[in-house]
Structure 1
Amino acid sequence: MNKLICKNFTEFKTHEGKSLPVGEWLTVTQEMINAFAEATQDFQWVHVDLERIKKESPFKKPIAHGFLSVSLLSKMLMDLIQIESLAMGVNYGLNKVRFPHPVLVDSRLRLHSSIQMIEPYAENGLKITWDCSVEIDSIDKPACVAEFVSLMFEG
């Protein structure tokens, strides 16, 4: 897998405004959907009721929670970058989020992203705004489009 590797924040900051490598494919399984339903207590039938889905859903298959797609952004981004001096990172928030296409069970997703903006944060941190688009294999519309904001701190 291609990965952006930087020694420190100084080197990382030179990538502001640039695209990251395209992510690896990740399959969204029913087990992931069920675990997300358990964690969030969102058991809407379109996600977990297989019999009702077959009868009533226009998709005829379970769909992942939209927030499952957005929650994968942290993992997908960290799979694409490595900063050797990084001590920790935390989610800061989202500026814009849309779910243009549902994610059917067993769909393969991958991340297309760029570093929109890097700002200083606290004494040893950065606030990064990432442009993210989660592609669904063989579907024209993305699963999720988001401006994702995170904090990273050097150790």
Structure 2
Amino acid sequence: MSLLTIRSLAELEQLQGQELGVSAYFTITQEQISRFAEATLDYQWIHLDAERARTESPFGGTIAHGYLTVSLLPYLWGQIVRIENLKMQVNYEIESLRFNQAVPAGSDVRLRTRLMSVKNLRGIAKAQIDVTLEIKDQKKPAYTGVVTFLYHFAD
């Protein structure tokens, strides 16, 4: 896995339509799920009560919050692409996000990305990236969607 470095709007534009890369696998632990519940005040038993989840849920155990998996986007994206020469980066939009499959505690996930489009908004790059969060050894991804970042390049 090699990190793709982009230094300008022109370099970003040249990558339109291409797969940008895949992150390393990241393990989502029960401890992380529990901390996320504390941070978001989302204490649903499906995430926290291992015994009840094992006996009552269709997943056979606890699962990660969907929004926990989405919150990993910046971390995993940073393993794929490094954008240099920036004044600022802004998270702009999440479009068509679909949760396809639950992520059981202890699962390994990774992000796969493709640059759908780049628009030049008076020197600001509006980049739409197709994202898929894959679960190791599963055919169906955890989610698919399109995220949009605004990149304010320094020159």
- With the length of structure 2 as denominator, give the TM-score of the two structures: 0.91
Q: What is the distance in 2 between the residues matched to 1:72 and 1:153? A: 22
Matches for 1:97-108 after TM superposition, within 5 Å: 97-108=97-108
8 Å CA contact 1:63–1:103 kept in 2: the answer is yes
Q: What is the distance in 2 between the residues matched to 1:148 and 1:74? A: 11
Q: What is the distance in 2 between the residues matched to 1:31 and 1:93? A: 29
Gaps of 5+ in 2: none
Matches for 1:52-91 after TM superposition, within 5 Å: 52-91=52-91
Per-residue CA distance 1:45-69 (angstroms, 9 max, x = gap)? 0001123223312222210011111
Q: What is the distance in 2 between the residues matched to 1:39 and 1:118? A: 34
* Percent of aligned pairs with the same amino acid: 37
Q: What is the distance in 1 between the residues matched to 2:135 and 2:25? A: 9
Gaps of 5+ in 1: none
Question: Counterpart of 1:69 in structure 2: which amino acid?
Answer: T
- With the length of structure 1 as denominator, give the TM-score of the two structures: 0.91
Q: What is residue 11 of structure 1 aligned with on the other side?
A: 11
Q: Aligned residue pairs: how many?
A: 154
Matches for 1:10-49 after TM superposition, within 5 Å: 10-49=10-49
Matches for 1:116-127 after TM superposition, within 5 Å: 116-121=116-121, 123-127=122-126
Measure how far apart 1:28 and its partner are.
0.6
Match of 1:94, SS state, is: strand
Q: What is the distance in 2 between the residues matched to 1:106 and 1:5? A: 31
8 Å CA contact 1:12–1:83 kept in 2: the answer is no
Q: What is residue 137 of structure 2 aligned with on the other side?
A: 138
8 Å CA contact 2:119–2:126 kept in 1: the answer is yes
Q: What is the distance in 1 between the residues matched to 2:118 and 2:75? A: 19
Per-residue CA distance 1:61-88 (angstroms, 9 max, x = gap)? 2100111112212221122111221233
Deviates more, 1:38-47 or 1:72-81: 72-81
Per-residue CA distance 1:64-114 (angstroms, 9 max, x = gap)? 011111221222112211122123322111110111111000100011110
